[in-house]
Every structure is written in structure tokens, then in C-alpha cells.
Structure 1
Amino acid sequence: DDAITAARELELALTGRDCGLEERAPMCGVPYHAAGNYISRLVAKGYKVAICEQVEDPATAKGIVKREVIRVVTPGTVTDTASLDEKSNNYIVCVYQLNQYFGLAACDLTTGTFDATQIIVGRTEGKLVDEIARFKPSELVCQQHFADSKICGQLLKQYNFALTIRPDEYFSLTAVREQPALEMSEQQGHTASESIWSQAAAALLKYLQETQKTNINHITAIKPYAVQDYMQLDSIARRNLEITETWRDKQRKGSLLWSIDRTRTSMGSRLLRRWLEQPLISRHDILWRQNAIGKLKDAFIQRSELSDMLQGLYDLERLSGKIALANVNGRDLLTLNQTLCKLPAIKAAIHAWDDPYLIKLHDDLDLLEDLQLMLETSIDPDAPIAIKEGHLIKPGYDPEVDKLRTATVDGKDWIIQLEAREKEATGIKNLKIRYNRVFGFYIEVTKSNLDQVPERYVRRQTLANAERYITEELKDMEDTILGAEQKSVALEYEIFCDIRDRTAEKLVKLQQNASVLAQIDVLTALAEQADRGQYCRPDITVTDELEIVQGRHPVVEKTLESGQFVPNDTSLDLNVRRVMILTGPNMAGKSTYMRQVALIVLLAQTGSFVPAESARIGLVDRIFTRVGASDDLAGGQSTFMVEMNEVAQILHHASSRSLLILDEIGRGTSTYDGLSIAWAVIEQVADRQQLGCRTLFATHYHELTDLEGLLPGVFNSHVAVDERSDEVVFLHKIRDGGSDQSYGIEVARLAGVPQEVVQRASEILHQLESENGGQQRIKIKKMAKPMDGQLDLFASSMAIRQVDELLDR
């Protein structure tokens, strides 16, 4: 069956072989040297591939050579770096559920990165989904009951990963005690034995050991974390803000990461991605990064030199993983040596900056001089990829290898001399001495010269146009040459394995160096972006202020010509300017502006400088977005229901320290329904007794501008336009005050809607306006708060109640 499946999936020819049964055994195959490509294609389709190899020497084996499965390749355990995105981690995630508690463990086998946390699920499972979504796993390991759950079904619909089910004993406390990495976490004070996350981690470690069939020594310790220790971004916010990939195309280009990534190494790029996906909420930690970036930014020449040094570094993080899994070859060790050779210059360069973070990185960078010297003197500069075919060890490193090589070379020179002697002795000018793996060395004579062959030649093989012979002298030298070559190859492999094992002894230091180099790379890259992009250093406070002067959208700005982007100011606080009601026409830039504010806050709490003239950022615990919507056909939800689900999530989970980006709430239903819901939501987020958080609320319900002055903390802004006689020009500038028009007909004209349709729309608009006293809007007035127990459509607590009722239907 496997042959049939592989032939179908890989588009291979399916053959068969007699096996003593009525039907021939189906067979298909691929060249050994190209197996990696075919394995990658199968794994990408969700298959697990078992790798079998001979585990004993055919020369000494009795009977059939013994074979064993040496590794199982699954989507989450791929270690072939050629088939992975070098700028992204390849995570495998494990989930363990105990009542309302979930343990979560995530590992990238290629780097040894292993994180774990536990989540208490209350009203919804959203927190768990959001955290799994952050890792974007290739594979998820769980128990059967979780695989059957609604939440797992939801995850499988939204994300493309393989599902692996393991029995309950994998998740037991006994399994926890069997894992050295968890014991080390205990020693570091993480109380693994008392944590739900440890049971998920134990199951994942056991599964990795099961598939790799070897020690996974590069996973030295688990790093537990608490979700609440970082800015929380749900999957909707990550999607809407396009932090690491675009919403529609799922491409890196066009994302925030793409716009600021000036890293020079793969490990640096992966770390920058992790920083953006997990912004900080500790002012101390933010300033720790910010200060280092500032020092690097102010030293252009030294920073440029450091960037050039980083440019040539290999992926030490993934190389360490290959070393731990014994998957390295000679060329890998050569690249390791080249990276180690660059460490002294990088360490000296970092020493020039007087900054606590940079000083720590300088001190943590281990030059590993003994390892570098060993690799420099041992590995041949022209070492092949194969490790069992010789030519791995540098001349002069091992006397015995040199002796065997000399015997081999001298023997081959002797063969050349013998050929010349035999030509002269026999008079056969085209006589050749050749070699193949089946017959060894032989003398070849064409049929036309057979009458000149001496009697001492012993026939070995007959061909159509020639005969092949052997002599006693040639046979003796063949044994000498081949014996020396075989011994040399075997000895080189033995020495290589010893070098590989001695390199693995430095694994912890190598991983530490990889972490240090990645951090240096990210800090240098962010400093370069701050310098070249004219970013400012934001003032991070624990107050409720959000002041941005001449802020710019980092992605949109990069796609435009220099100076074309129109910057804008933002001023929010929790006292008098909590909720901005933003009005203006479509295409004027409302959504861009709101995303811009969110991205500036996110960058600031990553520790980065931000695209603005100045910024003062009061720390934000979560960013929520409700921007754009589409039908969820697979989930059976309309656009409006999708929107209401998102609003419900926001109102249930936001706090007074959150930042809300709300765009066009209520637009998917009738005018009165939509206006009512939008109004109630504004009351909820503006009321400090209910939520009272910083909010940007874009709308085409111009009636909502009347809430300025009626609700404390609510104020109006609009996107300015320039009305001319024949057209409307969007200025993309945010100004105080509300707008009474949406300019929808003008936008339709710009979009190329047929002129007769545009003209008819204008006529209808004028007619409607005349019927409504020249107004395009419904006049609203202040409505008194209901008394306790009184139901009222516009009560501040009704926002959640209305949404919940819609969901219940």
C-alpha cells in the first residue's frame, strides 16, 4: 500500500515483483541521493516517513543484512534545513487538558527551542487558540479526547497542521519524572512537577525521542512562560495588523516584519519574528532593549562594520540541532569553523559600546578557541557531503590516514607504470588497465589484438569487442591498493565521528553563542531601521497617555516614494480623550491610520524605535482589532455574525489598559440595528465604570458624532478632503471634528462605476435628502441611563448583552 500511495503522491512509475503470491508486490523507488526532496514532498502533504538503513556491515553480516528504522520524519520533526523556511521556526505543539486547565508545549526540533505554558480557559477557549496560532505549528500532539473536541476541530479548520494522537501515559506525572530536561527546569526553580504544562512537555519530549530514535540533547531545558507577562494579541489582531504575513496572500512581503527586517542572519530574522509576535509589557524590559538600540543607532560607522561581520555567519542555531542529532557532515563542520573564526572580531566590536545589554552579550559570547582549532586542523577544506566515502580528514591531522592514503596513491601510480610496461612487453598499443567495483582491476585488450596476448594473462570477462584479463602481479597490487583505500575510508569515518562527538560536547556553549548572535543581529537591525527610517525613540510610561506626533504606517510608507506618506498625530488618554470617533469617506485612509497607531504601539513595546517625530506610549496590555469582515462559509457564519463574534471577544476580554481598533461596527445589518449596536458599544468602551479604554472607532454612522459632549471621554475626528467643482481629493489628514458626508458617490466614480449608475445614484441621493429636510443622517439626542433593573436599548451594559443574544440565536 505504501508503494501505491507514494507512486500516486510523488507521480512515480509503479512496478511490481514476484513474491510467491498470486499478485505481484507493488514497488516504486527514487534515487538515494535525491531521497530528501521526495521525503519533503510527502511530509508537506501530511505523511509520516520512516527512514530505514542497514545497521551492520554487509562484509561481516551473516545472511540478510540487518536493517532498522533509524528515524521517523513527520511535519513537526523535519530536520532537513533545505526544506524549511530559514526565517521561520518549524514548531511542533503538544496540548494536555485537565478540566478547565490546558498545558501547552512548543518545540522547534531544528533549534532546540522549547517553550511551555498553561492556560485557564473560562468563558471561551480563545486564549488557547490564540496561543497555538502564535506558534503556527506544523504538527499538534494530543490525547484522543482533545482530538475529538470542538476546539481541535476549530483549529484544524483554521490552520494546516498534522494531528498526532498519543495515549494517556505519555502525559502522566511518571512521564514527567523520566525527562532530564524537565528535571533541569525544576533545578532552575520552575516547579515543573506541579505544573500542567510539564505534562504536555513530557509527552512532546517522549514523542520526539520516539521519532528521532536518538538522544535530543540540544533540548537542554524547558522555558516556561506566562501568557499574561507579554502583550496579548489574539489571532484576529495578528491577522488584521499583518504582523508577520499579509491577510489575503499569507506572504511575508507586505507585513510589518518585512518592512523592518534588516537582520543579516537567519537566526536573527527568526528572533525578530518572535519579538514582534510577543511584545513586552514590562517597562524595564522594553528600556533594556531600547537603550541598546539607541547606542547602536548613534554609532553609524561601528554599527555598519558590525553588520558586515554578521553578514557571513551561518545558521549556528540550526547547525547546533544537527550536531545534537548527529546529522552533520564535513561541510557542516567547515561552516561551523568559518562562523567560529568570526567571533573574535564580533566580540571586540561589541566591547566598544557602554550599555548593560551589550556588555552582557559581550560577556556571554564564548570564542570556543579549542573547538575552532580542532575543526581548522582536522576537516579537509574540500570535504564532500557524504561521510562514508573518505576525503574528510585534512592531511597531517592523523598519521595513519596519511600512511594509508600514500599507499593508495603510490599503488595507483604503480598501476600507471604497469600499463606502460605491459604495452611495451606485448606490443599492444591500445592496452588499458581499468577498474570497476565488480571485477576490480583488469587488463582490457580489443579483439583485433587477441593474438598478441601472452599466456600469463588469465581471462576474467568477455565483451563484444574486447577481452578482460588479470595477472598474478596485478591481483597482488589490487589487494594492496583496495585494502589501503578501504582502511583509509573506515578510519576517516571513525575519526570524523570522534570529531563530531567532541563538537557535540560544546553544544550548550554553541547554543548560547547562537542566542547571543541572534540578539546582536536583531538589535543592530532595529538600530539600522531606526536610523535609515528616521524613527524616534518612544517614551515608555506606565500612565494612560498615547501621544504620537507625525506618526507613519511602517509598511505603507515603505511601499511609497520617499516623502509621499502623509503623517498624522494621535492623542488619547483615559480622562478626556478615551474614544475617538473617526469619520470620513472610504479610501481616505481611516483603516490605515488606525492600524498605524496599533503598529506604533506594538513596535514600541517590542523595544524598537517607531516611525514618528516623537511618541509617548502608556503601556498597553492587549491590542484588539475589528477591521474588515468576510463570510465564514466553512463555519456557517455570515459577515455580520463574524463581526459580532469579534465584538463579543473584545468586550469580554478587554481591560482599561487595552487598545481597541474598531472599524465599521454594525455595518452588516439594517441601519437602525447597526447604529444601535455601534452606539451601545461606544457607551461600553467609553464608560470607565464598564471598560473605559483607549479606542479608535471608525464609522460611517455620522449620527454617532453627536455623542461628543454627551458621553464623557468621546471626541470626534475626521479624515480631511478637498472638495472641488468636479472631484473630491483625499488629503489623508486626520483633523478634529466630525464629518457629515461619506462621499460614497465620488468614491464610486473614482472606482470606475459606469457614469449612468453614478448619475442615477446622485439623483436618488438628492431626492432622499430633500425628503429628510436636506440631511443625510438621523438626528439623535442624549438618552438617559436606565434605572436599576430597567431594560433599555442604549444602556452601557447592553453592548455585551446584545451581542450575546445574537450569538445565542
Structure 2
Amino acid sequence: MMQQYQSIKKEYPDAILFFRMGDFYEMFNEDAKEASKLLDIALTSRNKNKPNAIPMCGIPHHSANMYISRLVKGGKTIAVCEQVEDPKQAKGLVRREVVRVITPGTVLDDNLLDPKSHHFLVALYFGKEQTGLAALDMSTGLFKVTELPRTSADLLRDELGKLDPKEILIPENSTNGNEAHPPMLQGTDYFIQPVEDWTFHHSQAHRVLVEQFKTKTLDGFGCEGWPAAVCAAGALVQYLKETQKSALQHITSLSTFSTQDCMMLDQSTINSLELVQSSDGQRKHSLLGHLDATCTPLGARRLREWILKPLIRLESIQQRLDLVGHYREHLIERNDLREQLKHIFDLERLLGKISMSTCTPRDLIALKNSIRVFPDIQQMIERCPLPAMQAISSGWDNLESVYQRIDERIEDDPPLNIKDGNLIKPGCDEELDRLKAIMKDSNQAIANLEAREKERTGIPQLKVGYNKIYGYYIEVTKKNLDRVPDDFIRKQSLVNTERFISPELKQYEAEITGAEEKVQAIEQRLFHEVRQAVADEGTRIQAMARCIGELDALLGFAQIAHQHNYCRPQMNESDVLRIQNGRHPLVELIDPNQPFIPNDTQLDCNQHQVAIITGPNMAGKSTYLRQVALIVLMAQIGCFVPAEEAEIGLVDRIFSRVGAQDHLQKGQSTFMVEMNETANILNNATRKSLIILDEIGRGTSTFDGISIAWAIVEFLQGPDRIGAKTLFATHYHELTELERLFPSVKNYNVQIKEWNDEIIFLRKIVPGGADKSYGIHVARLAGLPEEVLKRANEVLFNLENSEYDEVGTPKLAQPQPPAAGPQQLGLFGESPSPLVQKLKQLDLDNLTPRQALERLYELRDLLKNG
């Protein structure tokens, strides 16, 4: 047995081998040591207390999923080795084989899958000019590919950030030396799995794909001309075939996608706008969490895709908005549909388990119960007159054949395990029904046999019994042994009785004891037939899953729009962004007792292209910036928006540089991160983009920061520059001077009210620049000691009045009375004094002595008069 273990372990040296022995999975040697620590189970040994002791640990096979989940969460790979022949029929050692390799990207266990997110396995192929990217969710069968420029590491990281892969396959030769990650993925923490280079060769990858899809070319999938993508996709399928040991029936097609087909969002924007998770890592407090009013996991996953890839085609956006508007107004229709959707289970993941032969009987019943409501939903959506809904209803499939196949054979309330019996309905198989009747009537049959034998032998004390060791027997007291017929065969002798077996009882025993095993075998066969028939309809089931997901997401939008009083945005191809009384969709819900102050927005690419927004900290500048960006994004995913009115010209990208953070792993400071993200904006934004910038330049010295911020605004504004619609929040009041220089720049500020040396935030954005920073006022609100605040006012007074001593040192150490109000320094410093101007005008080389004396008196008088 250990030789068998060692030979199998050699094939999977990097995996923890779960070696099936009876009712347990056993682990040996280093696997046992590692697993015992990670799983907190006892480590023992074979040949204990001997020189050749072998470390080992084990887990019950029926609870293996729980232990596998813990190991996979720890980034481990598990090879599951099963007994592949019946021990009762095996000659010698039971044959064992690895039936599946479980990695972080290939799990199917519901405990490890987030029902509202895809679980992607990604393969990357680094070609000379293009990087091929293939992404597959094995639990749902979703398979898609794209190609990205080989030189664009940032674009690759952005796409990976949206996919959130649990495992990435790369060619073995793509890493440098001992580095775990290839150069383009340095600094990331993805689980990287190097695989053999030959699986990425184009001819091999192409062959694997056409065999999987049973086609001659890949033209029908739109990727025949994408060689790098084909290399990645083929290697991914080959990896799954080697690890899953199955036909991958639910992987029936793949789709191509391009970063040009939707609004591009970089990872910085996704994070700063908190699109799919909040700054504290929670889904609940993100835009996704807020908009998720879906009733099914199918809708929740579709919603996440929409948020990360907003539409850029006006027609598609209008179709979504039409449906949302219809169901917002038709409350009863919406509620009836949503009630029906609540009966639908996760069709995609049910199909995944069915196709991978890991489903239970209850999974088939869940699929049947989901299909049961399809006809009712079809009738409801056919009442909607909109063309977009007609397109959905015209492709509707009630999957009657799938429903009937399950309903005819599988019991409505089956056991969890196929070996537990009572799985197949009566009438499906004559032999099964006969054997079940034998099992059901066995007690009565034995009682009838006992009565007949009593009558035949004339022994009233004769009885038929059973035990696990000897099986069925006829028991006769010793005083009646002379009445025992010749066909009774002695089986066991006891003190006062003898036990016999008769030919008839022997036949009953064979039938009864063998019936259970035969029933189990027949039920398993019939179950697998049903499972295979359902798996063969995978394409139809997947198509309906997509329809259900889309319908669910749109109905969720309608529910949110009705619940929070959102308006339909007016979408067009112009460059206008006009929002009346817009609100932040998340912030307005924080405190229902505190009314949210709405604000207007007016931007275009001409006279209102750049808005400079000033005002104190905590006044709401960042909230306003995010609010505008979220309203635009919500509109382009087909959702109503939090505003009274909104006119939104389509944007191709949203860039967000809001918030500050260090990238310590990359050795980058806050300012370096800020500059990297700003450079990305300036290098990639177009006239159709929307840019929001918050406090650019604050990570360096004041004058450096002002200079950088000033130059950035100049670079963005004007028709001969980028010309993108831009909101720029800043504390540098000097930037308000830009409005005088450029007609496309407008100043706005957040209103505040001063009262008794305190400030009240009014949260209203109004035209004009702020004249104060109010930093010390905000510090007072934060609770700084009064002594610190007083001293800060003194220092501020000296700095703003350029107070220096005789040797040019600022008089910061010399207390001064606080000014009536701090004055903001101008960008170009204070105007030179008349005395200095007079001195500069003197032509000393051409002055006579008398003229020089006169000029000296003039300068003295000028100095006296200030």
C-alpha cells in the first residue's frame, strides 16, 4: 500500500495527497506534518516507536469538504485519490487513482464560493506584441478571452483587478530566476501557478480548444485571429483536463471582450469610488452593495459585471433605462416578477456541479424547482411592450424537457447522498420496483414463511430470526428436534436450541440482503443517466441563466429607483454634464435624520470645462466629486440616478484621483502614488473623459504642490489640450487665479458660515473661490487643545505677514496678537514696496552729487511715510 502511495505521490509532488483508505482520507510524511498543523488534527504514525515510523494523519471522508476548504483558503493544492474498484471484488491491493486536483481557482464547494461574485481561474500568455488573457469560472462555465498590449502592465493589472482571479496560470519560463511572479505582476499577491510551456504553444492550444468545442476552427467564437488569447485559453483548458479528470461538459463556448467595448476604469478609480468594496474592504458599503437589490445570485454577479464595465453605446444604455423606467412605474408587475425570481436557484453553479459529476440529488431538484416558475415569468414579461423585453421573451426557453426528465425519475424530496436510497420514483425500472417491494415486504414475507413452517412441521415454538453474523435462521427448541424436516440444514447449536436454514429461507435471505446493494446500484445508474441528460442541455441552461440574471439586475435597478426616488438621466452624445440637485447615493443613507444637501453640476468641454472647487476640510468637496462620478457611472450602466434632473453626455472613461495612500510594498510614498495616478490620467484621458482630482500636490512642499497643480490644470483645459470635463478640488486658493486666465476654468467653493469663532458647514457648492482655508477651525472641531490652537493662530499670523527679525529668521517664536482675519498669500508673492521700486529706478552712473543727495532725501521721506 505504501508503495502504491509513493508512486501516486510522485505524480503530484506539490499537492497534499488525500489517500482514500476505507472511510478515511490518510496523509503521510510531509503532507501529514503540514496538514496536521493547518487543520489542527492529531499527527500520529504508522509503525509507531520503530525506526521506520511514518508520520500520518487522517480525516473522515464524509467531512472532507470542510477540511479541503480550509486548506484551499491557505493557498494549498489537494490531490484527491480514491479507491476506484470495489474492495470486495478486488484481487489483492485495491486500485487507487487521483480523481481530481483541487486548487484555489478550481473549487466547486459552495463553502468556498461567493454566490454574488465569479470565481475566476486566469491564464496569461506573454507574446511579443500582445498579452493573451483567458478567464474561466469553472463553477459557472463562463469563459472569456482578450488581448492587451504587451507593454501595458497597468492595463493588465486593471483587468486582473476587475476579474479578481483566485489563481493565475503562467508559462514556466515567464518568471525571472527564482521570482515567483513574472515582471508584469511584480508587487501583486495573486496565487501564481506556473505550468509547462508546451501547453501554451499555439498549435497545441488551438487543438485543445477545437476538441473541447467540437469545431474545426475558432472563427465562430471571434478569436481565430487572436493568437495570444488562443494560447492562454488552450493552456487553461489543458490544465483543467489534467486536474479535474472530467470532460468539462459545461464549458461549451468562449467569448471575446475588448477594453474598447465599455467604459474603461482603472484600479485607482474603482478603489477611490468604492465601486465594489468600501475602503474598509466591505461589499455592503460600496456602490455594488447599495445597488444590489437582486433576488438571485445570477443577478448579483451580472450587476457586478455591469458596474465594472459600464456601457458606452447609447442604444444599449437607453434599452436598459427603458426597462428600468417601465418596472419602476409598474409596481405590481415588478413585485410579482421579483417574487417568482426568488424561487430560482443558482442555475449556473448547479449546472457546473452537474457537469462535473459533483452534484447531489437535491441539486437536480433545485434545478427542477427553478425551472418550474419559468412559464409564469414568461407570461409576465410578454406583457411588457418594450422592444428590449420582447428581445428577451423571444429567446425564452422554459426547458420543459429538462424539467420532465428530472420530474419523472427523481423523488421530490431525495436524500442528500445517492447511496442513502429512496432516490428514484416508482415506475422507472421494473427490477428496481421488484427489489424495493422485496425490501418493503421483507418483514411480512418472513412472518408468512414462519407461519407456513409452523404449520408444516407442527412445531408451535418455531421462529425465524436474524443477526448480523449468521443472517436469517430458523430456531427450534431441542425437545422438538425430532420434528425437524429433512430439508432443514443445521447452522448453529446453542444450549437449549438449534438454528437451521431452509432452502426457501436461504432464497429469501439472498434476495433481501442482496436487494439493498442492487437497489443502490440501479438507483446510481438511473441517477447518472438523468445527470448526464441534464448536462447535455448545458447550453440551453446557461442561456436561460443569462436571461434570468439580466432581468433580475434590471428589476433591482427599478426597485432602487423607486425606493430612493431616483430620476431617469437624459443620455446623449454631447459633451454636456448637467445635474440638478444631485446626491451621493451612499452618503445620503448614512443618517436618515440628517438631510443630505444636494448640489448642482454644470460641465462641458467649452465654457465650463474645469471647475476649481475650494473650501475647508470636512466641508464636502470629496463627497461632491465622488457623487458626480458615481451619477455618471450609474447612468451608463442603465440605472436611474440620485438627482432631480440629469443630462449626461456619454463619457469613455472616468478617472478618479481621490484619497491618499502609500504603496509600501512597492516602496512608493503617498506623493509618488499620487503622481503615478495623475500621470496615468494625463497620458490616457481624452476629450470624452470625466476627471475628478482631489488635493493634487498636497504630498510635497507648498510651492511645489501649487506649481504642479497649476500646470496640471493648464494641461487639461482648452480645446488644444486634453479638454476633458474636470472637477478639481484643492486647498491651494492660488489656483482660483486660473479663472482670470482661461475662459474654460470656473471657480466654485463650499459654503460655510462663521459663528463665534466657529464654522458651520453648509455643504452647498456655489460659484466663486473661497478666501480662507479654515484649517485651524477644523482642528478645533477635531478637539485639539486650546493652547495648540492659540499658538497655531500666532504662527499663521507671522507666516502670512512675512514677519522676520534682523537676520531674516521668521519670528515664529515671538508671540503676536492674532489678526482680525488671516489673509491668504498671493501666488506670486506680495507687491514690491515703493521704496524698493525707487531704488531699482535709480541710474547711479549718471547722477550728479547734488542729484544723488536729493534722491537720498526723497528715499528717507518715503521710508518715514511708509
Of residues 263, 272, 278, the one that matches 1:240 is: 272
Q: Is the 8 A contact 2:209 2:234 kept in 1?
A: yes
What corresponds to 2:260 in structure 1? 228
- Unaligned 5+ segments in structure 1 are 783-809
Q: 2:240 aligns with which of 194, 204, 208?
A: 208
1:359 to 385, 390, 402: 390
Q: Tell me the amino acid that sits aligned with residue 177 of structure 1.
A: R
Report matched runs for 1:124-203 at 5 Å: 124-148=152-176, 152=182, 155=185, 157-180=187-210, 183=215, 186-188=218-220, 190-203=222-235
Retained in 1: the 8 A contact 2:78–2:102?
Answer: yes
The residue that corresponds to 2:827 in the other structure is 780
Rounded Cα–Cα distance in structure 1 between residues aligned with 2:268 and 2:416: 45
Q: How does 1:125-524 map to 2 (within 5 A)?
A: 125-148=153-176, 152=182, 155=185, 157-180=187-210, 183=215, 186-188=218-220, 190-247=222-279, 249-415=280-446, 433=465, 435-436=467-468, 439=469, 441=471, 471-473=500-502, 476-524=507-555
- 1:58 pairs with one of 80, 87, 96: 87
Q: How far apart are 1:138 and its partner, in Å?
A: 0.2
Superposed displacement of residue 452, structure 1: 10
The one-letter code of the counterpart of 2:39 is: L
Decide whether the 8 Å contact of 1:427 with 1:452 is kept in 2.
no
| CA RMSD between the two structures | 3.0
Distance 2:436 2:765 in 1: 78
CA offset at residue 374 of structure 1? 2.3
The residue type equivalent to 1:202 in the other structure is G
- Aligned-partner SS, 2:417: coil
Q: Following the alignment from structure 2 to structure 1, what is the Cα–Cα distance between the partners of residues 132 and 388?
A: 32
Q: Distance in 2 between matches of 1:113 and 1:453?
A: 75
Identity %: 43
Distance 1:146 1:667 in 2: 39
- Higher mean displacement: 237-246 or 407-416: 407-416
- Counterpart secondary structure, 1:554: coil
What is the alpha-carbon distance in structure 2 between the residues aligned to residue 665 and residue 419 of structure 1? 96
Structure-1-length-normalised TM-score: 0.90
Match of 2:816 in 1: none
State the 1:550 CA deviation.
0.9
Listed as ranges, the matches of 1:618-629 within 5 Å are: 618-629=649-660
Matched residues in 2 for 1:590 and 1:739: separation?
Answer: 12
Task: Find the aligned partners of 1:555 and 1:461 in 2 and give their Cα distance.
Answer: 83
1:24 aligned to which of 21, 41, 53: 53
Letter of the 1:235 counterpart: Q
Per-residue Cα deviation, 1:621-643 (whole angstroms, up to 9, x for no partner): 11111111122222111111111
**1:478–1:717 Cα change, 3 Å:** same
CA 1:540/1:20 → structure 2, altered by over 3 Å: closer, same or farther? Answer: same
Deviation at 1:65, TM superposition (A): 1.9
How far is 1:310 from its partner? 0.4
Question: Rg bigger for which structure?
Answer: 2
Stretches of structure 2 that go unaligned for 5 or more consecutive residues are 1-29, 804-818, 830-866
1:683 alignment counterpart? 714
Is the partner of 1:157 in helix, strand or coil? coil
Contact 2:338 2:552 in 1 (8 A): yes
How far apart are 1:467 and its partner, in Å? 12
CA positional deviation for 1:395: 2.1
Q: CA deviation at 1:265?
A: 0.2
| 1:612–1:410 CA distance, 2 compared to 1 (3 A) | same
Please say if 1:6 is aligned against 2:35. Answer: yes
1:591 corresponds in structure 2 to 622
1:746-801 alpha-carbon deviations (Å, 9 max, x no partner) = 2112112223222322333334344479654331369xxxxxxxxxxxxxxxxxxx
1:86 aligns with 2:133: no
Alignment size in residue pairs: 771
Aligned residue in 1 for 2:143: 114
Query: How big is each residue's C-alpha offset from its partner over 1:169-212, in whole Å with a ceiling of 9 and x where there is no partner?
Result: 43323321331256477342614254321111111111111111
Matches within 5 A, 1:66-81: 66-81=95-110
Change (3 A) 1:755 1:411: same
Aligned equivalents of 1:196 and 1:365: distance in 2?
35
For residues 277 and 467 of structure 1, the distance between their equivalents in structure 2, rounded to whole angstroms, comes to 83
Q: Which residue of structure 1 aligns with residue 793 of structure 2?
A: 762
Q: Which residue of 2 aligns with 1:569?
A: 600
Q: Is the 1:538–1:604 Cα contact (8 Å) retained in structure 2? A: yes
Deviation readout 1:608-657 (Å, 9 max, x if unpaired)? 11111111111111111111112222211111111111111111111121
Distance 1:230 1:642 in 2: 26
Q: What is the CA distance between 1:563 and its match in structure 2?
A: 6.9
Query: 1:397-445 deviations in whole A, cap 9, x for unaligned?
Result: 322211110011222334567899999999999x995554xx3636899
- Note if contact 1:136-1:159 (Cα within 8 Å) is conserved in structure 2: no
Q: 1:185 to 1:306 in 2, by over 3 A?
A: farther
Q: Does the 8 Å contact 2:800/2:825 carry over to 1?
A: no
**Match of 1:40?**
69
Q: How does 1:693-708 map to 2 (within 5 A)?
A: 693-708=724-739
- Equivalent in the alignment of 2:640: 609
Deviations 1:710-760 (A, max 9, x none): 123111111111211142111111111110212111211211222322232
Aligned counterparts of 1:53 and 1:150: Cα–Cα separation in 2: 32
Counterparts of 2:447 and 2:64, CA distance in 1: 38
Query: 1:323 Cα shift?
Result: 1.8
Match of 1:807 in 2: none
Q: Distance in 2 between matches of 1:46 and 1:524?
A: 38
Q: Please report how far the alpha carbon of residue 215 of structure 1 lies from its aligned counterpart in structure 2 after TM superposition.
A: 1.0
Q: Give me the whole-angstrom Cα distance separating, in 1, the residues matched to 2:157 and 2:575.
A: 29
Distance 1:472-1:170 versus aligned 2 partners, 3 A rule? farther
> 1:243: Cα distance to partner?
0.6
Structure-2 change in CA distance of 1:566 and 1:453 (3 Å) = farther
**SS where residue 718 of structure 1 aligns?**
strand
Give the SS at the match of 1:250: coil
Q: Give the match's secondary structure for 1:569.
A: strand
Q: How big is each residue's C-alpha offset from its partner over 1:128-180, in whole Å with a ceiling of 9 and x where there is no partner? A: 11111110000000112433389746746334434333323433233213312
**Distance change in 2, residues 1:194/1:241 (3 Å):** closer
The residue number in structure 1 matching 2:677 is 646
Q: CA, structure 1 residues 629+534, in 2 after alignment: closer, same or farther (shift >3 Å)? A: same
Hey, what's the Cα distance between the residues in 1 that align with 2:237 and 2:317?
33
CA distance in 2, matches of 1:185, 1:520: 33
Distance 1:565 1:504 in 2: 52
2:613 matched to which residue of 1? Answer: 582
Q: Which residue of 2 aligns with 1:534?
A: 565
CA distance, structure 1, for counterparts of residue 497 and residue 514 of structure 2: 22
Q: Tell which deviates more after alignment, 726-735 or 263-272.
A: 726-735
Cα 1:415–1:16, aligned 2, differ >3 Å: closer, same or farther?
Answer: farther
8 Å contact 2:77–2:102 — kept in the other structure?
yes
Q: Distance in 2 between the 1:202 and 1:64 partners?
A: 38
**DSSP-derived class of the 2:416 partner:** coil
Aligned residue identity for 1:603: M
* Distance in 2 between residues matched to 1:56 and 1:626, nearest whole Å: 61
